[in-house]
Chains A and B, each alone.
Chain A
Amino acid sequence: MAGINVSGLVDTERGFINPSIYHDQAIYAAEQEFVFARCWLFLAHETMLPKAGDFIQTYMGEDPVLVVRQRDGSIKAFLNQCRHRGMRICRADLGNSKAFTCTYHGWTYSTAGDLISVPHEDDAYFNEIDKSQWRPAAVRIANYKGFVFGTWDAHAPEFTDYLGDMAWYFDAFVDRWAGGAEVIEGAHRWLIDCNWKFAAEQFASDSYHAEISHASAYLAYVAPGDGLTQDQLVANRKKGGYQFAAPQGHGTGFRTSPQPKRVGPVVQDWEASVLPEIVDRLGEPRALYMPGHATIFPSLAYLSNGTFRVFHPRGPAQIEVWAWGLVQKDAPEKVKDERRVEILRTFSPGGLFEQDDGENWNEIQKVLRGWQARQRPLSIQMGLGHWAGDAAGFPGRTAYVFAEEAARSFYQRWSEHIAGTSWERLAELDAAYAEASGANGQAVRQPEGQSS
């Protein structure tokens, strides 16, 4: 498979990124083919499609797909494009349907994506059309603990292999509650004029920005009378934590000190009451410190409070963010509702935290229009060489919470993808990364008083 020449784009040994990777149209085209048309992408959570015939329309890169619950309970997905003249088959965001009829000439597809009816099949087509040859491209599906992912690539590894060591961390989000999780009805969808990698990389690898970018939100959450000062908040945030980097491009970071609560006593009491069960099942580190912030390569991101989102690329300089909220299925309604409100007030486009992220990514993107702005590398050097393998009970390569180890692995894998590297070769690289992580890492140094 022929990718593009990636020399000079990413140098993870020295911590350099060529700013053109966020701006260049040819690189963007390569991403559509070699990242979004072959990696595993998040499609839906199964609770978004409870009944047979329930469908949502989403995107894989720029390609619209229909994701549909089948009568046998399985979930299928296919390109939302009529094979006759390329019209979008279904123009609703979601709904329930027995079949999908293209409104151009009336070709009709089953919920599984099979072409089942062609108008004038007898008199115009002389019954010579082989309908089995004219179905929209089918998506290969993996249902990981309720999270449904899809890929166009028959050669892509199994989803669990694609996750690698990230599965252990991802489970702290997707498998947190014994009784399962469900998605809050509805989604936030909005536009940010920035490259998708700014968003994806930040959720994988950037705890560093929070106390500057989100200073106003932290201050606003210090309610009069709760006794916690901003200085104490910042001091807490400096007390240790870890970042995990996966050769597959995933990353996550989490703190090992208590973080400020943004929910009231009802939710706090409920969460305390279910914590022992989570500790039993997942162990203390995952129960107490995670999920933190994370990205599943390339473009699914999530946070501790249950927000999760996909960054759909719309050209090199724009994304659509589609964000949902995950809650404990068997929590009381008032707990779910307070969590719903907390998510929208922090990490939706009007959220006290989210607003400032868009500001950063959008302004970087504008500056990158300049020629000079793309002539010198940007820095991903933080913590270069300071990591450990399988340390402190954490699988894979971990670093201090303020690090860019996960950014380096994200961009490394990104460049390998757009170079057209085969899945077989990527598996070899994953094994080499794991070996290096175990053998050569320097122990992760934590601030005094914190174990490492």
Chain B
Amino acid sequence: MTTTDHDRAKTSTRSNVGPEIQYEIEQFLYDEADLLDRWQYDEWLTLMAPDIHYWMPTRTNRLRRQQHLETAGPAAAAFFDETFEHLQQRVRRLGTGLAWSEDPPSRTRHLITNVRVRSAAIDGQYDVECSFFLYRTRLEREMDMFVGRRTDVIRRAANAYGWQVAKRTILLDQSTLLAKNLSVFL
């Protein structure tokens, strides 16, 4: 049985790595955020592992006794449920010059905080949780705020950054998406 977000909420996720690994991974997350905020999507893709699963489940309002069902499971509706090829396809769309929802492009700022790093069973791989605040403005006065938690698996990689994201679960703190689209990466 998969761990639900409700279970995870009750479990400590404090960091258990030394300051060097903590620092390296934090810097990696900031680099990643920076690439997105500079619209460097092709470069951003090099930080995604070829076997990545990039997933953002939907959420519902539940009675407390049914709160364990609040976050949708893997077979249910999700906002993103992506392989590497899927992410590539999204980047390809943005590059067509015809992707009107991002033309003119969004201005985004990805704020990454509350980073917690735990060693995983596999050498060179870490379970990383962080909070994110994605602030977006577009056109004259559109503004959206996406806040939530990311749960990543991050592993050593032979790229310029030394790391790749092997798995990402994005838990947005909204039930109804309070925006007209998700044309950005989180």
A interface residues (Cβ-Cβ under 8 A, vs B):
91-97, 184-193, 213, 215-217, 219-221, 223, 320, 324-325, 337, 340-341, 344-345, 348-350, 352, 354-356, 358-360, 362
Contact = CB atoms under 8 A, between A and B. Distances in A.
Main secondary structure of the interface of A (DSSP, over half): mixed
A337 B60 contact: no
Contact of A220 (B75, B77, B93): B93
B62 A190 contact: no
B38 to A, nearest CB: 21
Given A186-B76, A191-B177, A95 B90 contact: no
Nearest to B139: A363
B167 to A, nearest CB: 16
Contacts, number: 131
Interface residues of B, number: 41
B77 A356 contact: no
A190 B92 contact: no
Contacts of B108: none
B105 interface: no
A95 B66 contact: yes
A359 B177 contact: no
Contact of B60 (A93, A349, A360): A93
B27 interface: no
Interface string B98-109: 111110000000
B121 interface: no
Interface in B90-130: 90, 92-94, 96-102
B81 interface: yes
B73 to A, nearest CB: 7
Contacts of B6: none
B177 A190 contact: yes
Chain A CB count within 10 A is highest, among B63, B100, B177, B182, for B100
B49 interface: no
B79 A215 contact: no
B183 A350 contact: yes
A349 B180 contact: yes
Given A191-B177, A325-B77, A220 B96 contact: yes
B29 to A, nearest CB: 21
